[in-house]
Structure 1
Amino acid sequence: MPKQKSKPITIKTEETLIWTGSSSNQTKAQKEFNDALRKHKEILEHSKEIEPLFQMVNETYLKEVLPELEKQKKLERMRFELMCSILIEEKLSFGKMQREFLRRYLLDICTDSILEDPNFYGKFRDQLETKFERMERLRYKNQMESKIKQKFGVEIDLDDLNRTQFDSEEDRESHEEKYKDFREKYEEYRAEYFRGRGTKSSERKKSKSQTEKEKKILESERLLSTDINVLFKNLAKLIHPDKEQDPVLREKKAKLMTKLSGARDNMNIAEILEIKMQVDELLPNQQTDVSFHDTSIKRFVGIIKSKIRELEDSIRQRFFSHPLMADFTERKITKESLTTYLKRVKKDNQMVTKAFEEEVEQLTKEPKYIKEMIKELQSLGVQF
């Protein structure tokens, strides 16, 4: 905070007012506030510096990693189809346990991927299932469809309902229209269910500590609103552009006034206090004639620290919600650490693609290679 030449304002109160005066006379609360505000500025600057790094992550994902993932998806399907062909068409003799392991492994892939492409995986599922497994699956499916009809009065096909792949946009729209009635009824049921749970929860008697906590929050919000309004009025008097004759100064004041109004509407005390410092720098001979008690300053510190946590969380959330950042372990995101990480991710994906290519090539040339694959899967602990 810049040093202010004006003398502290004297107002009769029970507490010593602070905020104005030279920095050498700052109280502990003022110093804590300045530290918090400085940290808030640093995080804001950091969030701007982070943007090009996020773009680097996104560009790597779109140009380098996504094409590899698409290749892997195609190769994985080819690998699956070759393995099914070897088993179903009996191109190789297997021991009883080997055959059952392979059948269950491939059936598991069908179950996990059926919604991705029902036509492709459905035909293999029908060939891999035993009669008993098919009967159990259909029995469970019919049971669930019957319950849905009883509950919502609508007949549906669960396999078709959960379909995610469509041949065209018209096919998608037709599917949505077909199940529109059921989805609307289901959403109404969910809303009613959660409303009922919310009512039961609200009917519980609040504890004394909960009541006291809520009172403190409401009082804190009331005091904050008062502090913001006091500061807003004092700042608005100084920077209202309509009263300024100098065109350059009028433009600067207009920009500050717009920022100030937005900060007031959003109850953003951190931004208002930063605007206050900008006003003090813009108008060094017209300091804002307002002071605050230590209690208010401490409240500002708490709010600014909360804003800092929100900013840090938003930065982390934006980065680590990206599919490429799941394994990033560094505490601090820097260009150097990110570049090293992205190189490793690209290399790892290229290695996975190569492994799939080699397996597809081996299965195509030499079907008995599948027995080596079974051994490897078993050594990795795959069980059914």
Structure 2
Amino acid sequence: MPKQKSKPNATAEESLIWTGVSSNQTKAQKEFNDALRKHKETLERSKEIEPLFRLVNETYLNEVLPELEKQKKLEKERFAIMCSILLEEKLSFGKMQREFLRRYLLEMCNDSMMEDTNFYGPLRDQLETKFEKMERLRYKNQMEARIKNTFGIDIDLDDMNRTGFDSEEERESHEEKYREFREKYEEYRSEYFRGRDSNSNHRKKSKTQSQKEKKQLEAEKLLSTDINTLFKNLAKLIHPDKEQDPILRERKSKLMTKLSSARDTMNIAEILEIKLQVDELLPNEQTNVSFHDTSIKRFVGIIKSKIRELEDSIRQRFFSHPLMADFSEKKISKESLDKYLKRVKLDNQMVTKAYEKEVNQLTLEPKYIKEMIKELQSLGVQF
């Protein structure tokens, strides 16, 4: 693209420029082109991540989840054996040992109650002291009474919060039973936060905040002018009425619809994305638009913002997966992911074996529970 001419008497900073490969690019133009390349690379990276995400999900479903289910089953089995040793007095304990074990098991019971109320409920009743049971029921009754007064609905908190069900039909029946309360509660929360936001908006704005908003409005006005220019140039290139090729005409028509919608809402980022698509569709017909350096710098800011959004969406999707909590690599690659997943699988197999060992030892030799108590105390576990 030939070098753009400067306006008469214009300073170097005000030179009119746009994209191109001129050796006389300004700093702003170089930053713009660099941002475009980074944006394209990030888009490509988001596509490359997809098969890696499928690998993570398949590993989780086919190899890790079965191990976790084994561990959960073994954990319940171990818990039941430990309760049996304590409650059926199969072993002699010192007073402090007995109390430590009782409170440890009760803590585990309370933490796991919602997973399987039918399993943990009866054991909690046996592990609790009379005073602990009275306090738990008193608090529960207080909360249920407060809910009754606020929403006019009778509920059972122990039943409402459970997550373990024997069938999908039972789950659906449970959800239906408490649907009215959940809907009213969500309305209540929405009203509460809406009220807080309203109060916050009525607070007097600081001088700094007012100046910031004023600058933002001025920047938006300048961008509006630039975007109108870009819109007109793009519209000339992709107007479908002038296209003879039916396939190209259809693609231009879709782009024109998107462009018009983006222009109506002044969606600057969308218009810039459409510009990239137009340049790809029509590589020999560049959008011949000229802007001041200051305008291009604003475009650079928008493109960088889109890049951050893309990178955030990649990270959020990838690292929100339960299997990726400990993945520390900054750059995800097939090699680093394979190595990480192999370690995760081995770690889970080791945990399963450790549970199996403890269950076997507790079954064959109940006094092993005293070694477990000593180990827990050495780790600083207190109640």
Please give the TM-score of this superposition, normalised by the length of structure 1. Answer: 0.90
Identify if the C-alpha distance between structure 1 residues 180 and 331 changes in structure 2 by more than 3 Å, giving closer, same or farther.
closer
| Cα shift at 1:258 | 5.9
| Cα shift at 1:173 | 3.7
Stretch deviating more after TM superposition (14-23 or 200-209): 14-23
1:255-311 C-alpha deviation (Å, 9 max, x unpaired): 65466557656432441342353366233xxx5442111111010111111111111
Query: Is the Cα contact below 8 Å between 1:269 and 1:303 reproduced in 2?
Result: no
Distance in 1, matches of 2:358 and 2:89, equals 19
Among 4, 8, 15, the alignment partner of 1:8 is 4
Corresponding residue number in structure 2 for 1:324: 323
Stretch deviating more after TM superposition (67-76 or 32-41): 32-41
Corresponding residue number in structure 1 for 2:340: 341
* SS in structure 2 of the partner of residue 25 of structure 1: coil
* SS in structure 1 of the partner of residue 23 of structure 2: helix
Query: Is the Cα contact below 8 Å between 1:65 and 1:349 reproduced in 2?
Result: yes
Query: Is the Cα contact below 8 Å between 2:279 and 2:287 reproduced in 1?
Result: no
| Cα shift at 1:185 | 3.1
Corresponding residue number in structure 2 for 1:155: 154
Corresponding residue number in structure 1 for 2:216: 217
| Cα shift at 1:52 | 1.3
For 1:29-48, list aligned pairs within 5 A. Answer: 29-48=28-47
| Cα shift at 1:252 | 6.1
Identify if the C-alpha distance between structure 1 residues 202 and 259 changes in structure 2 by more than 3 Å, giving closer, same or farther.
closer
Stretch deviating more after TM superposition (44-53 or 104-113): 44-53
Query: Is the Cα contact below 8 Å between 1:9 and 1:290 reproduced in 2?
Result: no
Corresponding residue number in structure 2 for 1:138: 137
> What amino acid is aligned across from residue 4 of structure 2 in structure 1?
P
For 1:216-235, list aligned pairs within 5 A. Answer: 216-235=215-234
Instruction: Extract unaligned runs of 5+ from structure 2.
Output: none
> What amino acid is aligned across from residue 277 of structure 1 in structure 2?
D
> What amino acid is aligned across from residue 153 of structure 1 in structure 2?
G
| Cα shift at 1:146 | 2.2
Instruction: Extract unaligned runs of 5+ from structure 1.
Output: none
| Cα shift at 1:179 | 2.9
Stretch deviating more after TM superposition (190-199 or 107-116): 190-199
> What amino acid is aligned across from residue 355 of structure 2 in structure 1?
F
Corresponding residue number in structure 1 for 2:283: 281
Identify if the C-alpha distance between structure 1 residues 36 and 381 changes in structure 2 by more than 3 Å, giving closer, same or farther.
same
Stretch deviating more after TM superposition (246-255 or 142-151): 246-255
> What amino acid is aligned across from residue 158 of structure 1 in structure 2?
L
Identify if the C-alpha distance between structure 1 residues 352 and 13 changes in structure 2 by more than 3 Å, giving closer, same or farther.
farther
Corresponding residue number in structure 1 for 2:349: 350
1:171-194 C-alpha deviation (Å, 9 max, x unpaired): 334433433343333233222222
| Cα shift at 1:331 | 1.6
Stretch deviating more after TM superposition (189-198 or 115-124): 189-198
Distance in 2, matches of 1:105 and 1:314, equals 41
* SS in structure 1 of the partner of residue 303 of structure 2: helix
Distance in 1, matches of 2:340 and 2:63, equals 13
Corresponding residue number in structure 2 for 1:86: 85
Distance in 2, matches of 1:109 and 1:232, equals 63
Count of residues in correspondence between the two structures = 377
Percent identity over paired residues = 78
> What amino acid is aligned across from residue 375 of structure 2 in structure 1?
E
| Cα shift at 1:248 | 6.4
Identify if the C-alpha distance between structure 1 residues 288 and 178 changes in structure 2 by more than 3 Å, giving closer, same or farther.
closer
For 1:231-270, list aligned pairs within 5 A. Answer: 231-246=230-245, 250=249, 253-254=252-253, 257=256, 260=259, 266-267=267-268, 268-270=270-272
Query: Is the Cα contact below 8 Å between 2:255 and 2:274 reproduced in 1?
Result: no
Please give the TM-score of this superposition, normalised by the length of structure 2. Answer: 0.90
Corresponding residue number in structure 2 for 1:126: 125
| Cα shift at 1:170 | 4.0
Query: Is the Cα contact below 8 Å between 1:115 and 1:163 reproduced in 2?
Result: yes
* SS in structure 1 of the partner of residue 359 of structure 2: helix
Stretch deviating more after TM superposition (230-239 or 28-37): 230-239
Distance in 2, matches of 1:26 and 1:219, equals 27
1:345-372 C-alpha deviation (Å, 9 max, x unpaired): 1100000000001111111111111111
Aligned-residue RMSD, C-alpha: 2.5
Identify if the C-alpha distance between structure 1 residues 367 and 43 changes in structure 2 by more than 3 Å, giving closer, same or farther.
same
Distance in 1, matches of 2:346 and 2:309, equals 34
Identify if the C-alpha distance between structure 1 residues 368 and 230 changes in structure 2 by more than 3 Å, giving closer, same or farther.
same
Distance in 2, matches of 1:155 and 1:246, equals 68
1:209-262 C-alpha deviation (Å, 9 max, x unpaired): 111212222333333343233212212212223212345654664565466557
> What amino acid is aligned across from residue 94 of structure 2 in structure 1?
G
| Cα shift at 1:73 | 0.5
Identify if the C-alpha distance between structure 1 residues 135 and 274 changes in structure 2 by more than 3 Å, giving closer, same or farther.
same
Query: Is the Cα contact below 8 Å between 2:19 and 2:33 reproduced in 1?
Result: no
